[in-house]
Amino acid sequence: MADFIRRHLEGKKILLLGFGREGESSYHTIRRWWPRKKILIADRNPLIRNNAFLQGDPNIELHCGEDYLEAMNHVDLVLKSPGISLKGITDVTNISKITSQTDLFLQAFTPQVTGITGTKGKSTTSSLIYHILNTCGKDAILLGNIGTPAWHFLDRIRTDTVIVDELSSHQLEYIHRGPRIAVLLNIFEEHLDAYASYHDYQVAKMKISTTQTTGDFLIYNADDPVVEKQLLAITSYPSPVGMVDRDPGQTRPGTKQTGSGSFMVPMSMHQEFKTGAFLQDESIIVHIPGREELVIREVHNRYLKGDHNLRNIMAAVTACWFYGVEKDGILDGLDSYKGLAHRMEYLGFHHGIHWVNDSIATIPEACIAALQALPEVDTLILGGFDRGISYGALAHFLIESSVRTLIFVGAAGRRIGTETEEADQAIKSSKRLFYINRFDHFLPLALEHTRPGATCLLSPAASSYDEFRSFEERGFRFRELVLNVEP
């Protein structure tokens, strides 16, 4: 299937738009196929000129600085990296040139791909699906937004390989073909810096479904009102549903299909379905025509706390049931899963305090979910780069919460704190509020004001881009400060 990608690129003048991790991966793949092919590379950051991979390559043409997008006018094909925003670009000719690793990879390997997206939970769900598949002996790979570019695996994929692909809105925005099995977890307000509106962000997320076709499957969160609203617009009529583990062509009556033709498989914490997944008496029930009912009673992995993670587990279990994983294999995978860094990551008990790193929480809903899952939080660190998203609901939640110490960081922290104080002018009589400009300044405040035996939680509800390059870097800094403080 890698031949499909090579044929698509052959004979074309190519621009690599963005030269981060994925751009470098694209460069190495093209160089492996065509050692002397001319490649254009465009990136706002002029420091890419110092990239060691490009030194001594005479067949490179670099376009850097504020006008870097102008290079799109001079090529046949644009391989766009996810980190590059084209907000405001309306040139239809240039837009028609845009593809990406994700786009070409999905077109080449669709029958083998399970794609997972959602504003929150996609990394946990993707890694859990991958872990369960590996635990039961299936040949599986994990790639995409979780950190490994898709093309890195081109020489590794066999016909029986299950591809678990975490997909961001940026990766989905320009795809032409959706995955065989799509998992849509939720859609919250985020990335408004990269999209003209919240609606545009929703449309980008929905590409995981709208680019599917007949015979594909969409596992979706039926409790999310935004997902439901978007699906209502594309839902068609009752149609068959089938399994994908042994005979993808075999179908049986059961559920609805989207306008694109994919079969809809709902999941819910509150509703029950004849076909779908739901919670009943604290057990996960999965009804998929063609297989017996699956009942998972031991659903709480000790590394995955809270209702939001219970929903992630439900999504992973449903996807693995589609692939024919037996109940014992699913249980083994759930029991042995260790979670991911920066996602409600327990750092231990130090200086009389439990420390939890939830740096991945870059939106208010994620912060609220973390507080709901961890009832002993006494100190909360939140804030960072302000992207203009709404904090009203978070402010009211903080007022009613049992958290006593709130440490607000940066511009987003100042706005969250201000909205919280405006919503309850008496809040300072029940809680301690601190405003800091530098992230590192949280530590002495947390050590002084957190009750002995209670929890200090980093769950920022904001992006990290004011001080850090990523939420991972922020989480590592939190971990470093906490674990290295003098006794």
Q: What is the total residue count of the chain? A: 487
The CATH number of 2-99, from 3.60.15.10, 3.40.50.720, 3.20.20.150, 1.20.120.1200, is 3.40.50.720
Per-residue pLDDT at 282: 84
pLDDT at 413: 98
What distance in Å separates the CA atoms of residue 234 and residue 218, rounded to the nearest whole number? 12
pTM of the model: 0.82
Give the homologous superfamily in CATH for domain 102-336: Mur-like, catalytic domain (3.40.1190.10)
Q: What's the pLDDT at 487?
A: 60
State the DSSP code for 54. Answer: G
Of 377, 359, 392, nearest to 459 by C-alpha is 359
Residue 453 is predicted with a pLDDT of 94
CA distances from 77 to 32, 114, 396 (A): 18, 27, 48
Q: Which CATH superfamily is domain 345-483 in?
A: Mur ligase, C-terminal domain (3.90.190.20)
Instruction: Please state the domain extents for the chain.
Output: 2-99, 102-336, 345-483
Report the chain (487 residues): mean pLDDT per 10 consecutive residues. 94 96 95 97 94 92 95 96 86 89 97 97 96 95 94 95 97 96 95 86 95 94 95 60 35 54 92 94 89 85 82 96 93 90 91 95 94 92 95 96 97 97 94 98 97 97 95 97 84
Q: What are the structure tokens assigned to 138, written together?
A: 């299936």
pLDDT at 218: 96
- Tell which residue, 372, 350, 266, has the closest CA to residue 315: 266
Which pLDDT score is estimated for 248?
34
Here the tokens at position 404 are 């006593």
